[in-house]
Amino acid sequence: VKTDDGQSIECKIKGNFRLKGIRSTNPVAVGDRVRIILNQEGTAFISEIEDRKNYIIRRSSNLSKQSHILAANLDQCMLVVTINYPETSTIFIDRFLASAEAYRVPVKLVFNKVDAYDEDELRYLDALINLYTQIGYPCFKVSAKNGTGVAEIKKALEGKITLFSGVGKSTLINSILPGIETKTGEISSYHNKGMHTTTFSEMFPVEGDGYIIDTPGIKGFGTFDMEEEEIGHYFPEIFKTSADCKYGNCTHRHEPGCAVRKAVEEHLISESRYTSYLNMLEDKEEGKYRAAY
């Protein structure tokens, strides 16, 4: 635990923490704000966990109903994606964004590997940036390899707790905080020894009073339990347009008087976003979106 005056204190958890409605394998997570009771040895007990403004969880395994809290009290998440080498699909991006909306974590999109793209790829990149910026997700173009755009990322990290997700994030984190990579590796291999969970998140201070959280081995969020009617709420432009649908519980598939389908036809809502939305609905029907806790 890092105290308000900047000390780091080794802590144990006192008693049983039960979270409302969640069966979690870890009662306390990176980003939690806690109260501690110091003992004579200079270590301490965590006696209280403050209510979280948000948190992201991951089911421990497919079979168990237990969840693992990856991080709490996030100010934002940076999702690192690529147009190529390998391509991050818009379906993956949109699912991530929808989950983040559900978790109430603002997302910024970081398009990495700009050093590697040709003209066509750069054009497609700009089209995607245009799309996501218009919806309300700030976008960055970077190359973790040659440092392009990394200064802008650092600026966006100031004063905030930021979770990094996505492909190629290790190289990017390393270019923000040189030397962190080895440290991350050591810690996770130590913690994995004899443990069932392979996830271990850690928070690192960055310049300008910010922190980044790295969750090694995790490229996305866990599943979020959404009702079918709810999925559209987590696509901001679909949600906004759905106010004009004829039926209040419109799923925007085949209902008459659907304003969302009309907006897609008129190119006011992007085809790829609508496809991602339908894709999530289909999963829901197939039961893929089971309760995450």
Q: How many CB atoms lie within 10 A of CB 18?
A: 10
Question: Is 144 or 259 the residue whose CB approaches ligand GDP more closely?
Answer: 144
Regarding 169 and contact with ligand GDP (CB under 6 A), the answer is: yes
Question: Angle, to 10 degrees, between the axis of helix 271-285 and the axis of helix 90-103?
Answer: 70
Shortest distance, position 80 Cβ to ligand GDP, whole Å: 8
Question: Is 171 or 279 the residue whose CB approaches ligand GDP more closely?
Answer: 171
Among 25, 76, 84, 170, binds ligand GDP (CB under 6 A): 170
Interaction partner, residue 258 (ligand GDP, Zn ion, none; CB < 5-8 Å by kind): Zn ion
Considering only residues 76-135, where is the footprint of ligand GDP by CB under 6 A?
Answer: 112-113, 115-116
Regarding 204 and contact with ligand GDP (CB under 6 A), the answer is: no
Interaction partner, residue 176 (Zn ion, ligand GDP, none; CB < 5-8 Å by kind): none
> CA 87 → CA 94, 96, 152, 173, distances in Å?
14, 15, 23, 20
Q: How many CB atoms lie within 10 A of CB 197?
A: 14
- Separation between Cα atoms, residue 212 and residue 114, nearest integer Å: 22
Question: Is 109 or 167 the residue whose CB approaches ligand GDP more closely?
Answer: 167
Question: Is 145 or 240 the residue whose CB approaches ligand GDP more closely?
Answer: 145
Regarding 171 and contact with ligand GDP (CB under 6 A), the answer is: yes
Report the Cα 259 to chain-centroid distance in Å: 30
Question: Is 153 or 167 the residue whose CB approaches ligand GDP more closely?
Answer: 167
Shortest distance, position 54 Cβ to Zn ion, whole Å: 28
Spatial contact of 72 and 237, defined as CB atoms under 8 Å apart: no
Coil, strand or helix at 246:
coil
Interaction partner, residue 144 (Zn ion, ligand GDP, none; CB < 5-8 Å by kind): ligand GDP
Please, which residues have CB within 8 angstroms of residue 213's CB and are 6 or more apart in sequence? 30, 31, 71, 74, 161, 162, 163, 164, 201, 202, 203, 204
Ramachandran quadrant class, 52 (left: phi over 0; alpha: psi -120 to 50; beta: rest): beta
Shortest distance, position 217 Cβ to ligand GDP, whole Å: 8
**Tokens coding 11:** 């802590």
Residue type, 147: G
- Separation between Cα atoms, residue 171 and residue 168, nearest integer Å: 6
Interaction partner, residue 250 (Zn ion, ligand GDP, none; CB < 5-8 Å by kind): Zn ion
Kindly indicate which of the ranges 71-79, 108-116, 162-170, 254-262 contains the residues binding Zn ion, using the contact rule CB under 5 A.
254-262
Spatial contact of 117 and 125, defined as CB atoms under 8 Å apart: yes
Interaction partner, residue 260 (Zn ion, ligand GDP, none; CB < 5-8 Å by kind): Zn ion
Shortest distance, position 142 Cβ to ligand GDP, whole Å: 7
Which chain residues interact with ligand GDP by CB under 6 A? Answer: 112-113, 115-116, 143-145, 167-171
Which chain residues interact with Zn ion by CB under 5 A? Answer: 245, 250, 252, 258, 260
